Structure 1
Amino acid sequence: MGKFRGIIVVDRERCKGCNLCVVACPLHILALTEKQVNKKGYHYAEQVQKDLCNGCSSCGVVCPDGCITVYKKKEE
């Protein structure tokens, strides 16, 4: 059985920086940007540790605006 790796894609322009995804992530690999903001002036979420995501989708489930999509990639 192969191992899966998750890839998180955040729609930066729709993200309002509510921080729910950051709190929901069991692996603590998401954070709000500190210096960058989107066109609306919000600090958006981003994946800060690229290779640790297991694709659990907790972040995408709690996002109230549906800004997060999680893809699973099978590692060989």
Structure 2
Amino acid sequence: MGKGKTIKHLIDKEWCKGCGICIHFCPKNVLEFDNLGKVEAVRPEDCIACKLCELRCPDLAIQIIEEPGREHEKQK
């Protein structure tokens, strides 16, 4: 059994326009708006690294980085 991966959410607050598309597509409800109307990862431990947020962001403001670390489930 492998060591799994740690998932980091790199969100560029300058590029994020607060449209909420990434929040809508996240199957695990990891993302929410902050007090400035920008997106933040409030439950990163629930992320399954499906990258739907990254793929759907029209402004390319989100990157999902997987690094060696904790295990997480892969969406099938």
Which of the five TM-score ranges fits, normalised by the shorter chain? 0.7 to 0.9
Q: Quick one: percent identity of the two aligned structures?
A: 28
Q: Which runs of 5+ in 2 are unaligned?
A: 71-76
Q: Runs in 1 of length 4+ with deviation above 6 angstroms?
A: none
Give me the whole-angstrom Cα distance separating, in 2, the residues matched to 1:29 and 1:50.
6
- Alignment equivalent of 1:67, drawn from 23, 42, 61: 61
C-alpha deviation, 1:14, in angstroms: 1.2
| Matching residue of 1:40 | none
TM-score after normalising by structure 1: 0.79
User: What is the CA–CA distance in structure 2 between the aligned matches of 1:3 and 1:54, rounded to whole Å?
Assistant: 11
Question: What displacement does 1:10 show?
Answer: 0.6
Q: Aligned pairs, how many?
A: 69
SS in structure 2 at match of 1:51: helix
Judging changes above 3 Å, is the alpha-carbon distance between structure 1 residues 73 and 54 closer, same or farther for their aligned structure 2 residues? farther
In structure 1, stretches of 5+ residues that fail to align are: 38-42
The answer to whether residue 57 in structure 2 is matched with residue 55 in structure 1 is no
Structure 2 partner of 1:17: 18
Deviations 1:15-39 (A, max 9, x none): 1111000011111110111x2x2xx
Q: TM-score, normalised by structure 2?
A: 0.79
